[in-house]
Amino acid sequence: MKLKNDIYIYEWTNPFENNCNSFFVGGNVNALIDPGLTGYVPDLLGKMSADGINKEDIRYVINTHSHPDHFEGSEVFDQEKVKVGLHTKEIEFLKGAGGELYSLFGINVPRMNVNFPLEEGDVVLGDQTFKIILAPGHSPGSIGLYWPEQKALFCGDVIFDQSVGRTDFPGGNGALLKKSIISFSELYLELILPGHMGIVSGRSNIQNNFNFIIQGIFPYI
Ligand SMILES: [Zn+2]
């Protein structure tokens, strides 16, 4: 579904199974953010094609982190043609404890090399400049993908609508999660696009959400 401008949203609405929200940035960017579990990628591609976006249009797959419900589906994209991105810290994590998480869920780590290692700072996708913000806490190499032109933040599982990412998985860290959320709160934002649950839009709603989390949830992290 087209949300606004070139941002498309594919929200996960099945409460009985785990998977993430996926997003697509169209225009000249053509980036899929968090493809989700491999088993649900055909369904995602079907929804995208109803919006006029074909699999062949996708030039980038940007992963906010390596957890299976976000990253596993990266394996279905042809690495000769598609740049699959993950932060370098998360690539390392996936070789150890992050990979063991897959076996906990009874699935295999995708057999692929991430061909687009991400570092903090500006990254140019198509004709747009985005910012990679390292945001550990939910996982060691989680990122926020910030799009200054749209004042939009793809924040993965760092922060949600009135909630925050779990810190009890391997590599989780509550103190770091708080720091990451504070750094997100300092961005100029009009749109928060999280990995689960609904989006948060509008400056005052976003500010209220940060306030609620910092005052109401931080004491328990
Ligand atoms: Zn998740």
- List pLDDT tens digits, range 56-89: 999 999 999 999 999 999 999 999 999 999 999 9
**Ligand 1 centroid to residue 127 C-alpha, Å:** 29
Confidence of residue 128 (pLDDT cuts 50, 70, 90): very high
**Ligand 1 centroid to residue 192 C-alpha, Å:** 15
DSSP string, the chain: -EEETTEEEE----TTS----EEEETTTT-EEE----GGGHHHHHHHHHHTT--GGG--EEE-S---HHHHGGGGGS-TTT-EEEEEHHHHHHHHTHHHHHHHHTT-PPP-S--SEEE-SEEEEETTEEEEEEE--SSSTT-EEEEEGGGTEEEEETSEETTEE----STT--HHHHHHHHHHHHTS--SEEEESSS--EESHHHHHHHHHHIIIIIGGG-
**Ligand 1 centroid to residue 66 C-alpha, Å:** 9
In this prediction, residue 207 carries a pLDDT of 98
**Ligand 1 centroid to residue 93 C-alpha, Å:** 16
In this prediction, residue 32 carries a pLDDT of 98
| pTM score | 0.97
**Ligand 1 centroid to residue 106 C-alpha, Å:** 16
